[in-house]
């Protein structure tokens, strides 16, 4: 049985910008803007940019609108 370490747990939750766009039904360009503005934190691994899935959940929670529309 493969043993999970903190690094493998985190690595399993890292998403590409395209995966974030697909999950949120946004364009890749919009996700890249959110990253550039600092609205969506990222991990930079060399030239690769990855987003923690938990940060996407936090973004959704914080952007939730509580008023009646």
Is residue 13 within 8 A of residue 54, CB to CB? The reply is: yes
Confidence class of residue 5 from pLDDT cuts 50, 70 and 90?
Answer: low
Closest to 55 (Cα-Cα) out of 35, 32, 37: 35
- Mention the CATH class of domain 6-62: mainly alpha
Q: So what's the pLDDT on residue 6? A: 59
Confidence class of residue 2 from pLDDT cuts 50, 70 and 90?
Answer: low
Tokens of 3: 């043993």
Which of helix, strand or coil describes residue 34? helix
pLDDT tens for 9-61 read: 555 699 999 999 999 999 999 999 999 999 999 999 999 999 999 999 999 99
Q: So what's the pLDDT on residue 57? A: 95
């Amino acid at each position: 049985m493969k043993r999970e370490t903190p690094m493998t747990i985190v690595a399993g939750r890292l998403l590409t910008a395209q995966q974030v766009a697909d999950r949120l039904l946004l364009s890749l360009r919009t996700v890249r803007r959110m990253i550039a503005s600092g609205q969506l934190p990222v991990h930079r691994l060399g030239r690769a940019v990855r987003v923690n899935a938990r940060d996407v959940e936090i973004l959704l929670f914080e952007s939730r609108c509580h008023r009646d529309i």
